[in-house]
Structure 1
Amino acid sequence: VCSHICRSRTAAATPHLYYLRKTMHYQTEQRGHPHSPDYRIYFKTSQGKYISPFHDIPLVVETEQGNDVPAKKPKKNESEVLFNMVVEVPRWSNAKMEIATKEPLNPIKQDVKKGKLRYVANIFPHKGYIWNYGALPQTWEDPDHTDKETECCGDNDPIDVCEIGTQVCLPGQVIQVKVLGILAMIDEGEMDWKVIAINAEDPDAKNLNNIEDVRKSRPGHLEATVDWFRKYKVPDGKPENRFGFNGQFKDKDFAVEIIKSTHEHWRALVQKQTNSGEIAW
C-alpha cells in the first residue's frame, strides 16, 4: 500500500519490499547513487530472481478469473478492474526517471541526453511532476503502428500513467490503480498517450470513477495537466507539445481500449511478431 511504503522509506542503498495485492511480492535493488548516470533500480522476486518491470509484472491485477485485459466493460456488480502501475517519478520531483527499455532487465534509471542527466523544469506555478508518474507494465506504444485518429506512430515505450492520488510514492513502487481517462499527447510527432488514474488505496478512489468525476471534484486539475504537458519541454528549447482531440480528455472506456491495444502490441513484441528494435528483456 502506497501510504505504508512512504512511511517506511529507508536509506538509498537498502532494498525495498513491496507487495502486489493478489499477485506476487518483490524487492527493488538500488545500485549506484541517485542523481548519477550509473544509478539503477532493479526488480526482484522475494526468492531473489531478477525480473523486468516492463515484461514480468502483470498489467492487470490478478483475480480468480485470471489476468487478461477485460474484453468488455464489466457489469456494475463486478469488481473494479485494477491495473498495476510502475512508479518512475514521485510527485513534486524533477529527475526524469524511466524504465530502461534498451537495457537487460529494464531497470529504472535517470534519463541522459547529450551526456547530461535530465531534469524537468518547474513550470510555474508547479513544482516538478504534478502527479506520481510512471508506466503500465506489459504495454508498448509500437513505433510502426499509426494511430487512426491522430495519424501519429507510437513512441516505443510502455504507456504512461499520471496517478492523481494524495500520497507521494517512491521510484520502483508498484501500485494498483483505477483508470479514469486518457490524454492524447503528441510529442515531437510521436503518439504519447497519458493515462489518468488513481491509486485504488487512495481515500478518494471510491469517489472517482471517470474523468468527469475528476473534473467536478478537483477543479483545474485536468487543465493543469494539459498545461504542464504542453510546456514542460519549452525551457529546454523545444516547441510546445500538441494534442489529439483538441486537448480534450477521453473517457475511461476509451482509455481501456487504448490500454488493450498497447497490451496487444506488447504481446506481438515479446512473441517476436513485430520489429523489436533495441528493446531488451
Structure 2
Amino acid sequence: MSFSMEERGRDNTADYRLYFRNAEGKYISPFHDIPIYADEAENIFHAVVEVPRWTNAKMEIATKDPLNPLKQDVKKGNLRYVSNVFPHKGYIWNYGAIPQTWEDPGHRDEDTGCCGDNDPIDICDIGNKVCSRGEVIRVKVLGTLALIDEGETDWKVIVINLEDPEAEDFNDIEDVRRLKPGFLEATLDWFRMYKVPDGKPENQFAFNGEFKNRDFAIKTIKDTHSFWKALISKKTDAGELNCMNTCVSDSPFCCSAGEAQAVVDSAPPYGAAELTPSSADKWFYYKQT
C-alpha cells in the first residue's frame, strides 16, 4: 500500500498544508482513510510521520480541517517549534500517529483516571532512519508511556519501523532497554521537560513513568481504534473534529472524489518556504529538581 503527498501554502507559515493521496491518486484523510493495520494477523500497524527526528516544527494531523492534512500547530497566534532542551535537538524519534485511532475525550481511562486528548494515538519510532514529513511507515509496537498532559491521557506508543535492519531484534519494551541503553530514560526526560521552556510545569505520567509492555500497548491501540469506529460511524459526537473521508464507505461522513478535490483546490498554491525562525535553534538548559 503506497501513499503520496501534495504540499500547499508555504512551509513555516500558518497556511502550509500537506495533503495525502492513495495509490489510485484519490485524495484521502490520513486520520480516517489510511488503514490502521498493515498486517492485522501480525499486529503490524501503519503510522503517519508528522515530525521527522531532529526537527523542531510541531507538525500534526489537522483533526478539525477537511481531509485532515498535516499542518503546523499554532498557539497564541504563533507557530509552534519544540524547544531544544539540552542534550536533545528537537524531537528525538520520528514522531507521528496511528491512523483510525482516537483518544476519546468522553472516555475516562480506568488505568490513568483521565480522559483522552481528542487526537489519534501518538507514536515514537526508534528506528535508525530519519523519515520524511508525511511518510507512512509500517511499525512493530514495543510498548507505551502514559503521559498526562494538562489532565488528559496522551499515550506515547514506542514503535520501530518494520524496514529497520534491526527490527527483528525488537519485540518488547525490554528489548529497547537492553539494546538501546538510555533511550527510554531519554524519552521520559524529553516528555517531562519539553514544555518547561514555555513557562509550563513538568509533565506528569501515569504508572510513575513506567513504560508498559507490548501487549498492554497493543490493547490500548485497539481500544482507541474502537473509539474511532464509533466516531466515524456517528455513534459518538465528533464535536469540532472533521470526519470527512473518501474511503470509509459505510461512514455518513464519506464524500466524493470531487468534493475532496475541491477541498485541496481551495488551499493556497505551494510556494517558497519562509525561513525557520532563529528562536527554533536556541538551546535551553534545565536542571531537574
- Give 1:169 shift: 0.4
Q: Structure 2 regions of 5+ residues with no counterpart?
A: 245-289
The aligned residue for residue 158 of structure 2 is 196
The reply on whether 1:126 has 2:88 as its aligned counterpart is yes
What is the alpha-carbon distance in structure 1 between the residues aligned to residue 67 and residue 114 of structure 2?
29
Q: 2:134 aligns with which of 172, 197, 205?
A: 172
Q: How does 1:44-193 map to 2 (within 5 A)?
A: 44-62=21-39, 67=40, 80-193=42-155
SS of equivalent residue, structure 2 residue 202: coil
Counterpart residue type for residue 50 of structure 1? Y
- Paired residues in the alignment total 243
- Give 1:238 shift: 1.0
What is the alpha-carbon distance in structure 2 between the residues aligned to residue 130 and residue 225 of structure 1?
8
SS of equivalent residue, structure 2 residue 38: coil
Counterpart residue type for residue 197 of structure 1? V
What is the alpha-carbon distance in structure 2 between the residues aligned to residue 125 and residue 131 of structure 1?
14
| RMSD of aligned Cα (Å) | 0.9
Which stretch shows the higher mean deviation, 132-141 or 235-244? 235-244
What is the alpha-carbon distance in structure 1 between the residues aligned to residue 109 and residue 18 of structure 2?
32
Q: Contact 2:3/2:136 (CA < 8 Å) preserved in 1? A: no
What is the alpha-carbon distance in structure 1 between the residues aligned to residue 180 and residue 27 of structure 2?
39
- Give 1:150 shift: 1.3
Instruction: Render the CA deviation track for 1:80-104: whole Å, top value 9, x for unaligned.
Output: 4210000000000000000000000
What is the alpha-carbon distance in structure 1 between the residues aligned to residue 207 and residue 98 of structure 2?
22
- Give 1:30 shift: 0.5
The aligned residue for residue 250 of structure 1 is 212
The reply on whether 1:208 has 2:170 as its aligned counterpart is yes
What is the alpha-carbon distance in structure 2 between the residues aligned to residue 176 and residue 61 of structure 1?
6
What is the alpha-carbon distance in structure 2 between the residues aligned to residue 103 and residue 226 of structure 1?
31
Q: Structure 1 regions of 5+ residues with no counterpart?
A: 1-23, 71-79
Instruction: Render the CA deviation track for 1:174-228: whole Å, top value 9, x for unaligned.
Output: 0000000000000010000000000001011010110000000111000000000
Q: 1:37 aligns with which of 14, 39, 51?
A: 14
Counterpart residue type for residue 27 of structure 1? S
Q: 2:182 aligns with which of 201, 220, 237?
A: 220
Q: Percent identity?
A: 67
The reply on whether 1:278 has 2:240 as its aligned counterpart is yes
The aligned residue for residue 229 of structure 2 is 267
Counterpart residue type for residue 231 of structure 1? M
Structure 1 consecutive aligned stretches of length 4 or more whose deviation exceeds 4 Å: none
Q: How does the TM-score come out when normalised to structure 1?
A: 0.85
- Give 1:237 shift: 1.0
Q: Which has the higher contact order (CA 8 A, sep 6+)?
A: 2
